[in-house]
Amino acid sequence: MADVTVGVRGRVLEVVLKRGKVNAIDAATSRALGAAFEQLQEDDGLSVGIVTAEGRFFSAGWDLKAAQEGEDPEADMGPGGFAGLTEFWGLTKPVIAAVNGTALGGGFELALSADMIVAAEGAEFGLPETSIGLVPDSGGVIRLPRRLPRAVAMEMLMTARRAPAAELLRWGVINAVVPADALMSEARALADRVAACAPLSLRAVKEIARATEGLTEQEAFARMRAGGLEAYGRLYDSADAKEGVAAVMEKRSPVWTGR
């Protein structure tokens, strides 16, 4: 059985991690995940991706067994970095993490690198690296303090405490917590709502949000207006912008072309 399977449902790419009991991720699995996200980026017929896993674990993160057997921490994880997504800066399409179970270390970092997170009831999230002499340097130490109040993030980072999905929902880190048997239907419904929107608009939203993160409001407006943001620069003269206005005036659903 392949460690990573990929399926297409309409304009949605679904990526499923299937690697042993805890879905640990080695370099080869990172590259396979990266290839799936590259497919999402390159296929004009796709608007959004879902990444999920089979079993009780979403992912336990870095494959420590592979590391113990000699896999170099600096091994080639592919252009998207660990898990194929944590450093995929060129990905302009949204990704939803459907977290089916425990997400630890790099598994939590994979979820944090998605744009939205839907979690099953009972799912737990944690960054245990400091308890084993490591650091969550595939995004956890950077992204978590930007999503949580700093004190809460530092507690999780410095004590290896696991947080239940319900707690992270309250903090706004994740979008929804649902019964396990409803996880994929919830993630797919969210993906379908995303896919109903204009592809170029989706790209522009992600592009602007990424380019202005950490800036003041004035700095962010200046960055957005300065030019150089490819999707945003194309947006208002695009066929889809004209189609969207026409659809409103004609009281019909728009037909997007991504141009």
C-beta separation of 97 from 117 below 8 A:
yes
C-beta separation of 78 from 40 below 8 A:
no
Q: In what helix (H) or strand (E) does residue 238 lie, and over which residues does it extend? A: none
Q: Which residues are CB-contacts of 194 (< 8 A; sequence separation ≥ 6)?
A: 47, 48, 94, 96, 202
Q: Which positions are annotated as active-site residues?
A: 109, 129
pLDDT score at 113: 98
pTM of the model: 0.95
pLDDT at 235 over 90: yes
pLDDT at 1 over 60: no
Q: What residues does 163 pair with on adjacent strands?
A: 125
pLDDT score at 27: 94
State the Cα–Cα distance between residues 36 and 25, nearest whole angstrom. 15
Which DSSP state fits 115? S
pLDDT at 71 over 90: no
For 86-145, what is each residue's pLDDT tens digit?
999 999 999 999 999 999 999 999 999 999 999 999 999 999 999 999 999 999 999 999
Grouping H, G, I as helix, E, B as strand and the rest as coil, residue 182 is helix
Q: Which residues are CB-contacts of 218 (< 8 A; sequence separation ≥ 6)?
A: none
